[in-house]
């Protein structure tokens, strides 16, 4: 099947390329026009329905009219001269609050590019306002706004800026000033503050990929063609994901497009580089461009198919997750990787068949293979001393892995963010009230009878006695008095470990214990949501890790036709993961004094490192097996495989690590941690494990590595004839 597809792609390459252009344009337009319809930044939507915070959110929507997808924006109102607020000032604040609830956003005046689709539907709106607490000494008063919109949508952010400017003008008319924090306000300010870093990050990503490709291939086309093709396929893949979300009615996290792009750029570059290195071998041997493309793809396609299936399997296991964001992300990435695999066996060979030697022009140095380069010397060194090589690498990785035992999770995605007007407003609120005052938590009561305020007073007092709880508001009853809400502020920021521990433990205990007779108390709010997210993620990791490893092991067994090699290959990628996580703990927790690593990092890192590490290991192992079946001795096969495949793996690893490293330019610690960990993990996988540890282990195990493959009647292939002088071909 693969051979037939490759022959078609390399015999009619221009038709294949034209078909891909049509597919890319069609799917990219779907992503552009409809992507915003399936995106959400509401974490509560991804919680298991059985979790208490999800039940609290559902009750809030039913009983109090809280709308799905709303976030709290807090307005701080104070006198322009800094004096305490007077009674007249507070009356003006109340007027401003009621005015905010009635304002309508003027879509025609938004600062968005012409042609932006569905602008009026994406602006969002203020669905409710509420009076907040008064600061000590009446220095300022807070107003809570419930804003319904996707906070990361540029259209919604522009709409907020319109409301902010209007509110500031209205406040100035009463000698007041107003500032905002939280939700779309913080997202808008952060996006503008990080605009330069985002542009620099994109420029460095493109620059590093092009520069490294030029370094390895010396040809401008070899640097540009793969990059253009990969980004085009990535855009089409996201369009296919959006189409799937629309068809099956599920939402995507706002981080999905970036994650999909990073994954596809990474594996796409890997596949293209694997193909280019092999095609260059055939061109050196004198093959024409179509013959070279067909021969190279014939050797590489089974390897990239197996590697892609390993990634698909790894991420598809996320479909078993409790946490909905993971459950949707896994299949989304699996779909996109399958599309990149299709491109790897059709579009990429077609591009090589069309361009041929032009990919490496104007340099002619590629036509002569270096017989004693770094890869050749490394291969000979490993072949001579495999035991020493394996022990040194394993010792270093195990030492780093020990640091992973101290891993702590952090749920604060704003740590390290650039200081903005919204962060300064949040700091002022925390200094005067409490760190959680700008993001109040809620305790809901659902009863089978009518409640009175007296029924709820024991609950309010019980909540106020919980250590770590600041101000507790008066109960708010529903119209039928069968439901109630009690707002409270924590003394810690709502996404810190301290807040999560309070929400999942003493706060829930106090609420359940003091709920009125015949009623049920439910704790909601950000801290409770993230406490349930934390528990869900921990459960998912315990389930997904072993299943992903088992399925990848099956793929390795089928690909290598062996039960021995997969054992040490899985051990190698397990060491990659634990060593990389340990390095992140050392850099950010121990040296960087952070509260912990981002809560999504261990699971995402596991899937990336295991999947991409397996990618490189399959490529090296397939070449090791090929060289042994060609009649070489075990040690000669190790030296030749490292010489031939090492540069391709190094190139792919360096380019991919550079692309991930650009995330370290972001202001938030979560992005910095992901960028560092992924770059470090890919470098370990490509420069150390796949090109040193795996060949060394194979040299120690010998031909038994492929058992029972040879026992099933498989015969060695004849040795290849190498070194034919290259001939000019078209």
Q: What is the pLDDT of residue 584?
A: 94
Strands in 176-181's sheet, in edge-to-edge order, are: 125-134, 141-148, 70-79, 176-181
Q: What is the CATH number of the domain that holds 391?
A: 1.20.1640.10
Is residue 444 within 8 Å of 522, Cβ to Cβ?
yes
Q: Are residues 608 and 572 in the same domain?
A: yes
Task: Classify residue 485: in a domain, yes or no.
Answer: yes
Q: What is the CATH classification number for the domain harbouring 464?
A: 3.30.70.1320
Same domain, 594 and 718: yes
- Among 181, 200, 230, residue at a domain's last position: 181
Domain that holds residue 172: 68-181
Write phi, then psi, for 329 (nearest 5 degrees).
-65, -40
Q: Which of 369, 389, 404 is the last residue of a domain?
A: 369
Domain-embedded: residue 97 = yes
Alpha-carbon distance of 190 to 151, in angstroms, equals 11
Question: How far apart (Å, rounded) are the C-alpha atoms in residues 547 and 621?
Answer: 23
358 and 284 within one domain: yes
Task: Measure the CA–CA gap between 442 and 59, rounded to whole angstroms.
Answer: 11
- pLDDT of the residue at 44: 63
End-to-end CA distance of the chain: 28
Tell me if the bond preceding 708 is cis, omega within 30° of 0. Answer: yes
Answer yes or no: do 446 and 512 share one domain.
Answer: yes
Res 359: pLDDT: 82
391 is written with which tokens? 């022990």
Residue 718: per-residue pLDDT: 46
| Residue 353 CB neighbours (<10 A) | 27
Phi, psi of 467 (to 5 degrees): -65, 130
Same domain, 345 and 257: yes
Is 477 domain-assigned?
A: yes
> For residues 677 and 671, what is the distance between their CA atoms, to the nearest angstrom?
10
Place of tokens 């540009």: 224
| Structural domain includes residue 686 | yes
Q: Looking at the domain assignment, is residue 198 inside a domain?
A: no
Q: How much of the chain is helix, strand and coil, in % rounded to 5?
A: 70, 10, 20
Q: Which CATH number belongs to the domain containing residue 169 in this structure?
A: 3.30.70.1130
pLDDT averaged per 10 residues in sequence order, the chain, 730 residues: 87 94 93 79 71 89 76 90 93 90 81 77 79 87 85 84 91 93 84 72 72 73 85 91 86 76 79 85 87 90 84 82 78 88 93 89 68 85 94 96 89 65 86 80 93 94 93 89 93 86 94 94 91 85 86 86 92 93 93 83 80 84 89 91 89 81 75 88 94 95 85 42 37
Residue 93 has a pLDDT of: 92
CA dist 312 → 253, 340, 452 (Å): 19, 11, 55
Contact at 8 Å (CB) between 607 and 331?
no
Q: What's the pLDDT score for residue 262?
A: 74
Same domain, 262 and 343: yes
**What are the backbone dihedrals phi and psi of residue 114, each rounded to the nearest 5 degrees, phi first?**
-60, 140
Tell me the C-alpha distance between 172 and 684, whole Å.
58
**566 and 701 part of one domain:** yes
- Say whether both 297 and 408 belong to one domain: no
Residue 206, in any domain of the structure: no
On whether both 288 and 342 belong to a single domain, the answer is: yes
DSSP assignment of 189-209, as one string? HHHHHTHHHHHHHHHHHHHHH
Name the domain count of the chain. 4
| Whether residue 250 sits in one domain with residue 124 | no
Q: Which residues contact 21 (CB under 8 A, 6 or more apart)?
A: none
pLDDT of 40 reads 73
Dihedral, CA of residue 545, residue 549, residue 555 and residue 558, to nearest 10: -150
Give the DSSP H/E element, type plus range, for residue 379.
Answer: helix 374-384
DSSP 662: G
Q: 204 in a domain, yes or no? A: no
- Considering the domain boundaries, does residue 639 fall inside one? yes
Q: Are residues 556 and 408 in the same domain?
A: yes
- Whether residue 555 sits in one domain with residue 661: yes
Judge residue 5's burial from the number of C-beta atoms within 10 Å of its C-beta, 0-12 exposed, 13-18 middle, 19 or more buried.
Answer: middle
Number of helices and strands (H, E) in the chain? 25, 13
């Amino acid at each position: 099947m693969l051979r037939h597809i490759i022959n078609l792609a390399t015999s009619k390459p221009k038709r294949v390329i034209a078909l891909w252009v049509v597919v890319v344009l069609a799917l990219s337009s779907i992503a552009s026009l409809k992507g915003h319809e399936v995106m959400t930044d509401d974490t509560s939507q991804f919680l298991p329905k059985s979790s208490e915070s999800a039940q609290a959110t559902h009750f809030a929507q039913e009983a109090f009219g809280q709308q799905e997808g709303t976030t709290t924006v807090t307005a701080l109102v104070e006198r322009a001269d800094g004096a305490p607020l007077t009674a007249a000032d507070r009356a003006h604040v109340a007027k401003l609050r009621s005015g905010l609830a009635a304002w309508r956003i003027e879509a025609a005046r938004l600062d968005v590019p012409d042609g932006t689709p569905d602008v009026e539907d994406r602006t969002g709106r203020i669905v409710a306002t509420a009076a907040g607490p008064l600061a000590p000494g009446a220095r300022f008063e807070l107003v809570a706004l419930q804003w319904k919109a996707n906070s990361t949508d540029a259209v919604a952010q522009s709409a907020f800026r319109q409301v902010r400017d209007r509110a500031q003008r209205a406040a100035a008319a009463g000698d007041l000033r107003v500032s905002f924090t939280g939700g779309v306000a913080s997202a808008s300010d952060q996006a503008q503050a990080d605009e330069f870093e985002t542009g620099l990050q994109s420029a460095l990503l493109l620059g590093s990929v092009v520069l490294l490709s030029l370094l390895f291939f010396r040809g401008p086309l070899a640097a540009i063609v793969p990059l253009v093709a990969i980004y085009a396929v990535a855009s089409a893949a996201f369009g296919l994901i959006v189409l799937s979300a629309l068809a099956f009615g599920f939402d995507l996290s706002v981080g999905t497009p970036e994650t999909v792009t990073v994954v596809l750029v990474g594996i796409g570059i890997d596949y293209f580089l694997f193909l280019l290195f092999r095609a260059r071998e055939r061109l050196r041997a004198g093959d024409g461009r179509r013959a070279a493309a067909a021969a190279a793809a014939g050797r590489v396609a089974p390897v990239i198919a197996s590697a892609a299936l390993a990634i698909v399997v790894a991420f598809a296991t996320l479909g078993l997750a409790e946490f909905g964001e993971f459950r949707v992300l896994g299949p989304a990435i699996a779909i996109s990787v399958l599309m990149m695999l299709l491109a790897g066996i059709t579009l990429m060979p077609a591009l090589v068949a069309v361009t041929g030697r032009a990919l490496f022009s104007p340099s002619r140095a590629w036509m002569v293979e270096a017989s004693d380069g770094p890869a050749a010397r490394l291969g000979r060194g490993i072949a001579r001393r495999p035991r020493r090589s394996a022990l040194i690498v394993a010792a270093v990785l195990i030492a780093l892995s020990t640091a992973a035992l101290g891993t702590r999770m952090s749920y604060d995605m704003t740590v390290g963010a650039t200081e903005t007007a919204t962060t300064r407003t949040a700091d002022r609120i925390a200094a005067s009230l409490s760190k959680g005052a700008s993001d109040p938590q809620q305790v809901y009561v659902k009863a089978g009878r009518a409640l009175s305020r007296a029924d709820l007073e024991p609950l309010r007092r019980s909540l106020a006695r919980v250590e770590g709880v600041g101000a507790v508001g008066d109960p708010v009853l529903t119209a039928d008095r069968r439901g109630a809400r009690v707002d409270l502020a924590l003394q810690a920021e709502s996404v810190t470990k301290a807040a999560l521990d309070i929400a999942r433990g003493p706060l829930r205990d106090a609420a359940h214990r003091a709920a009125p007779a015949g009623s049920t108390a439910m704790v909601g709010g950000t801290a409770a949501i993230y406490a349930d997210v934390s528990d869900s993620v921990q459960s998912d990791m315990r389930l997904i890790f072993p299943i992903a490893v088992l399925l990848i092991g099956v793929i390795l067994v089928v690909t290598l036709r062996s039960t021995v090699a997969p054992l040490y290959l899985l051990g190698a990628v397990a060491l990659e993961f634990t060593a990389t996580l340990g390095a992140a703990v050392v850099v950010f927790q121990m040296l960087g004094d952070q509260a912990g690593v981002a809560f999504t990092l261990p699971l995402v890192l596991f899937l990336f490192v295991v999947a991409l590490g397996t990618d490189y290991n399959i490529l090296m192992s397939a070449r090791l097996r090929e060289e042994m079946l060609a009649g070489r001795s075990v040690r000669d096969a190790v030296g030749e495989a490292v010489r031939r495949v090492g540069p391709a793996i190094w190139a792919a690893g360096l380019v991919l690590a550079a692309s991930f490293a650009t995330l370290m330019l972001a202001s938030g610690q979560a992005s910095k941690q992901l960028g560092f960990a992924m770059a470090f993990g890919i470098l370990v996988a490509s420069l150390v494990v796949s090109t040193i540890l795996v060949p060394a282990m194979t040299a120690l195990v010998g031909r038994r590595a492929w058992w029972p493959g040879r026992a099933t009647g498989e015969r060695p292939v004849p040795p290849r004839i190498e070194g034919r002088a290259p001939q000019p071909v078209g």
